[in-house]
């Protein structure tokens, strides 16, 4: 039997379309505890490093498409995608549904 880590079986969510991602593109966002359990859950979207961290956390930790819709924005996602460090399976799931993200990164 092949050994598989948690990342291989963990459920991840992917939106039905990028257009449904209508979250904010500026300002300060405080993530709820179910997405970020750290001591500092505030992210300044005007700071590229904060925006990347927020997007990586939301993509990895969201349990429902509602979280994705609430916190992610399609335009900002397209801009940040090449810089996001994601588990290989998460990246593959998103690219399978949205191959244009890969083309944009090239």
Question: Which whole number is the average pLDDT over 3-14?
Answer: 69
Q: What is the mean pLDDT of the chain?
A: 90
40 — pLDDT class (breaks 50, 70, 90) = confident
Q: Does pLDDT of 7 surpass 80?
A: no
* CB-side neighbour CA atoms (13 Å) of 18: 16
Share of residues in the chain with pLDDT > 70 (%): 88
Q: Are strands 42-44 and 28-30 parallel, antiparallel or unpaired?
A: antiparallel
Instruction: Decide if 5 is inside a domain.
Output: no
Instruction: Decide if 3 is inside a domain.
Output: no
| Structural domains in the chain (count) | 1
Instruction: Decide if 12 is inside a domain.
Output: no
Domain that includes residue 26, residue range? 20-105
Q: How far apart are CA 80 and CA 91, in angstroms?
A: 13
Q: Does pLDDT of 101 surpass 60?
A: yes
57 — pLDDT class (breaks 50, 70, 90) = very high
Instruction: Decide if 28 is inside a domain.
Output: yes
């Amino acid at each position: 039997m092949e050994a598989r880590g948690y990342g291989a079986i963990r459920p991840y969510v992917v939106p039905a379309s990028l257009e449904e991602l209508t979250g904010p593109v500026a300002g300060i966002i405080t993530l709820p505890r179910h997405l970020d359990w750290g001591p500092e859950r505030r992210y300044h979207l005007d700071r590229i490093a904060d925006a990347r961290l927020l997007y990586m956390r939301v993509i990895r930790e969201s349990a429902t498409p509602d979280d994705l819709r609430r916190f992610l924005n399609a335009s900002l996602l397209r801009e940040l995608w090449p810089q996001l460090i994601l588990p290989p399976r998460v990246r593959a799931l998103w690219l399978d549904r949205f191959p244009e993200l890969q083309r944009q990164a090239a």
